[in-house]
Chains A and B, each alone.
Chain A
Amino acid sequence: MTGDRPVLTMTGISKTFPGVRALHDVDFRLFPGEVHALMGENGAGKSTLIKVLTGVYGTDAGTITLAGEAVSFTGPMQAAAAGVSTVYQEVNLCPNLSVAENIFIGREPRRLGAVRWGEMRRRARELLTRLDLDLDVSAQLGTYSLAVQQMVAIARAIDVRARVLILDEPTSSLDAGEVAQLFRIMRQLRDEGIAILFVTHFLDQVYGIADRITVLRNGTLVGEYRTEELPQFSLVEKMIGQELDVLERLDEQQKRATVTPDGQAPLVDATELGRRGAVAPFSLRIHAGEVVGLAGLLGSGRTEVARLLFGADRADHGQVLLDGGRSPLRTPIHAIDQGIGFCSENRRAEGIVPELSVRENMILAMQAARGWLRPIPRRRQDELVQKYIEALSIRPANPEAPVRNLSGGNQQKVLLARWLITEPRLLILDEPTRGIDIGAKAEIQKLVVQLSDGGMAVLFISAELEEVLRLSHRVAIMRDREMVAQLTNDDTLDADRVMRTIASGTPREEVHR
């Protein structure tokens, strides 16, 4: 039952961080008794909007009204006290405390300063019964599944008489059954009149539960839609925001679908490779000299595919043949020995070693493959490093500068150099152009073409369809942790068709929905 008057209205919200315009003149409203999905790609401003709403950040401009009154929270605690509660993606509860303690931590029922344990357990039971959960409230939270923990987090959130419940990617680590359980509770809360703001990357879930959808892109509002009036394809289009004329210009460019001759054994032949909770089993072949693009929305399982092929995560299903021979990719070093390189999308956490110099970062993978007892002679190091600093025009061109002092684009080039030095046969690039300037981006794209012309196989992952289509011979499409299609990048393939496939999960032209 959607009410007529919004419980929450955000009007003209703007927020700028140094160098980044995170939100620009965004409007958002939330009605009581609805589930409202907030959609957008990475960096669209979803998190910032939520943080502005709950008072983590102040606003540069704009107003927020809750139940008709202008509000400006100073922090999540104050927001929660006013009835705006948030449950985050990572369950931020204490697994070593009991369920009841977790629900009431920080606001335990007290008498004369002493916690009233009986009262606390009784109220916890009441609250969970309301959510149709049958839990032992004295048991340690950690003994329950992640889904149950997520629901305890919700119970904690709604205890403070919430009018607005914000669920920030609550389903990202849940399996299908657990998601269904969560949705049941969300529907129940909605029917009680609570307004739910739901952030997710899973399209099926949006269409499974949301009444209304607001789409953000690059910090601006694209629009607010009723779910039944917005086909999945249009949603994807609005999130990615390709402009048609740009795409048409691309189509005129030479297509790269000159696939390697039939009969040539693939370099990598993954069969039913998968990992529970990460990505459903997929099969993928990559030939020498071939660029395979991996397209899909954020969280669709793109990175998970890359990590399985590199051995960064261990597959629990299927197998990989390299050059026709079975090869266990248990750890990265096995993959590197087989000539595979992997540039992680998470440059900071999984890429650079910030304290070390450009030179040391570059030679790291080669040195690791040789083992510590066989150091690369310093002269050889200097040659290699000099060569790649020039080839990739890394600035500053100082091999001894700590890599943390370089810009993002230059750090990315250092990482590329780290792998190119190992002369891999397959290079996996996960979002290699994200967050770097246009010039560096073009250089990296050019490099990928050169490498594949030289016989290297490349798995190219990017959120930007334009890039994927420009570089790839074939495009594999991910959707909701599943590889739903592999399309040859010929004249018939354009961004429109890729988006349709992402939206519908089938590569057919006609889509019913």
Chain B
Amino acid sequence: MNTVAERLRPLTGHRLFWPALVLVVMIAANTAYRPGFLAVEVKNGHLYGTPVDILRLSAPLILVALGMTLVIATGGIDLSVGSVCAISGAIACLHISEAADQNSASTVATALALAFGAALVLGAWNGVLVAVIGIQPIIATLILMVAGRGIAQLVTEGQIITINSEPYRAIGLGHFLTLPLAVLIALAAALLVAAFTRRTALGLIVESVGGNAEASRLAGIRSRRIVLLVYVVSAACAAVAGFMVTANVSSADGNAAGLWIELDAILAVVIGGTSLAGGRFSLSGTVLGALIIQTLTTTVYAMNISPQTSLLFKAVVVIAVCLVQAPAFRARLRRRRRGVQTGPTAPQREKEQVPA
């Protein structure tokens, strides 16, 4: 028993082991419930099936969570991503709806550029509040989280803007090389962010700022610029997610687009093994985390869990996932199984303190 555990140590010790295990268990449970769960077929040259759906539906969440990962790694948090989704989607749809030819590629390109630019400004706003003015990230981004919904409503003038644009719709529902375009966009974004952080020194510097801000300052890191940058990246990711969400339904709803996506994104980051305290981050972990959350959502629908209890069900699973991942919890579980008393550990720890 012990030797097996020893031999598996390199595997179980990997930071992605637990999130990956959770995903596998979820897929196994679904397959047991409905054997056809993993079936994928080709129709009209496109791939179809539940796994493909999960990938496609998780694309916006993956995008938002990628940006969120960097923000969290600096020790911050970005609550405004849902609102940025709504605003960017609204601006893009508004521009397209006012055009003479909604199917023109140049119209769509201009719309995307406009909306993307607006998102960068919003990200810079967050960054300035946090990095320059020094407001706590949760408060600073809460401002845009709340006000952003209002801005989105202003853009759409309180209406739901419906568009009829094939090129725009493709962002959410199109296919390329048999795969949904949204999946490819999310994949490209993940690779881009990975290259952006790991091919440059940005990742190291973000981790350093999140790990010890004062030490980083004394090592000469201009942490303000870095912090500002990650909020801009986060908003940029959210903007693309906003395009997908609105393209899926060919309409922009200032209230509903990207609603609560910030919470799912934070959850994806945490499940992926990045600490909310900042420091080390894992982009692949975040992608896994986003897939876990989307699989869970799909499971809720697939298992016909009633809408009244579905949120509760999700919550229970999420708590279980987080507990399984926590080394402290696993250690306690193991001790209990061995029947070792755990009582007197707390006071002992206090005694071990070194004198001040």
Given A51-B355, A356-B204, A367-B201, list of 15 further CB < 8 A pairs? A17-B354, A48-B356, A312-B217, A331-B222, A332-B220, A333-B220, A344-B215, A350-B214, A352-B212, A355-B280, A356-B211, A367-B205, A368-B219, A368-B222, A369-B220
A15, A20, A351, most chain B CB atoms within 10 A: A351
Contact A353 B352 (CB under 8 A): no
Residues in chain A near residue B211, CB distance under 8 A? 353-356
Which listed residue (A20, A344, A370, A373) contacts B354, Cβ 8 A?
A: A20
Within 52-88 of A, Cβ neighbours of B (below 8 Å) are at 57
Name the residue of chain B whose CB is nearest to the CB of A58. B351
* B355 with A48: CB separation less than 8 A: yes
Categorize the interface residue count of chain A.
Answer: 35 or more
Residue in A354, A356, A369, A372 whose beta carbon sits within 8 Å of that of B202 in the complex: A372
Produce 1/0 per residue, B213-229, CB < 8 A to A.
01111111110001000
CA distance A344 to B215 in the complex (A): 9
Contact of A376 with B by CB under 8 A: yes
Give every chain A residue within 8 A of B219 (Cβ-Cβ): 332, 364-365, 368, 418
Tell me if B44 counts as interface (CB < 8 A to partner A): no
Interface residues in A358-378 by Cβ distance below 8 A to B read: 360, 364-365, 367-376
**A177 interface contact, C-beta 8 A:** no
Distance between Cα atoms of A355 and B274 in the complex (Å): 12
Judge whether B205 and A368 touch: CB under 8 Å. Answer: yes
What 0/1 pattern do residues 222 to 265 of B give for CB contact below 8 A with A?
A: 10001000000000000000000000000000000000000000
Contacts of A331 in B (CB 8 A): 217, 222
B89 CB to closest chain A CB (Å) equals 31
Output the nearest chain A residue to B203 by Cβ-Cβ distance.
A372
Whether B226 lies near A350 (C-beta < 8 A) is no
5 A-B pairs within 8 Å (CB atoms) are namely A22-B355, A333-B220, A353-B215, A354-B211, A368-B221
Within 8 Å CB of B208, what residues of A? Answer: 353, 356, 360, 364
**B199 interface contact, C-beta 8 A:** yes
Query: A349 touching B204 by the CB < 8 A rule?
Result: no
Contacts A47-B356, A353-B208, A355-B280 known; A342 to B202 CB distance under 8 Å? no
Q: Which residues of B contact A369 (CB under 8 A)?
A: 220
For A402, the closest partner residue in chain B by CB is B280
Q: Are A374 and B201 in contact, with the CB atoms below 8 A? A: yes
Residues in B with CB closer than 8 Å to A376 are: 201
Would A344 and B355 count as touching, CB distance under 8 A? no
Closest to B214 in A: A350
Residue with the highest number of chain B CB atoms closer than 10 Å, among A15, A336, A355, A360: A355
Q: How many residues on the B side are at the interface (Cβ–Cβ under 8 A)?
A: 27
Q: Collect the chain B residues with CB atoms within 8 Å of residue A439's CB.
A: none
Q: A351-B215, A356-B208 are in contact. Are A375 and B199 (CB under 8 A)?
A: yes
Interface string of B331-356 (1 = CB under 8 A from A): 00000000000000000000011111
* Secondary structure type dominating chain B contacts: loop
Name B's A-contacting residues (CB within 8 A): 199-202, 204-205, 207-208, 211-212, 214-222, 226, 279-280, 352-356
Q: A352 near B355 (CB under 8 angstroms)?
A: no
Q: Is the CB of A372 within 8 A of B226?
A: yes
A349 CA to B356 CA, complexed, in Å? 14
Closest to A422 in B: B220
Is the CB of A18 closer than 8 A to any CB of chain B? yes
Interchain CB contact under 8 A, B352 and A20? no
Quote the shortest CB–CB distance from A303 to chain B (angstroms).
12
In the bound complex, residues from chain B placing their C-beta under 8 Å from that of A18 are 352, 354
B212 contacts across to A, CB distance below 8 A: 349, 352-354
The residue on B at minimum CB distance from A16 is B355
Q: Are A47 and B218 in contact (CB under 8 A)?
A: no
Q: Which residues of B contact A48 (CB under 8 A)?
A: 355-356
Q: State A18–B356 Cα separation when bound (angstroms).
A: 13
The reply to whether A336 and B355 form a contact with Cβ atoms under 8 Å apart is no
Interface-centre pick from A20, A351, A372, A374 (highest chain B CB count, 10 A): A372
Question: Which of A20, A332, A336, A355 interacts with B279 by CB under 8 Å?
Answer: A355
Give Cα A333–Cα B226 distance, bound, in whole angstroms: 14
Bound-complex Cα distance A352 to B219 (A): 10
Q: Judging by beta carbons under 8 Å apart, are B218 and A342 in contact?
A: yes
Q: Among A17, A336, A352, A371, which residue has its beta carbon within 8 angstroms of that of B353?
A: A17
Choose one: B199, B214, B220, B355; the contact of A349 (CB below 8 Å).
Answer: B214
Q: Within the assembled complex, what's the spacing in Å between the Cα atoms of A364 and B216?
A: 8
Across the A-B interface, give the 3 residue pairs with the lowest CB-CB distance, nearest first.
A368-B220, A353-B211, A375-B201
Task: List chain B residues, Cβ under 8 A from A370.
Answer: 201
Nearest B residue to A370, CB-CB: B201
The interface residues of chain B lying within 8 Å CB-to-CB of A418 are 219
In the complex, A17→B211 CA distance in Å? Answer: 28
Cβ-closest chain A residue relative to B277? A355
User: Known interface pairs A354-B211, A354-B212, A356-B211. Does A17 touch B204 (Cβ–Cβ under 8 Å)?
Assistant: no
Pair B217/A332 contact, Cβ less than 8 Å: yes
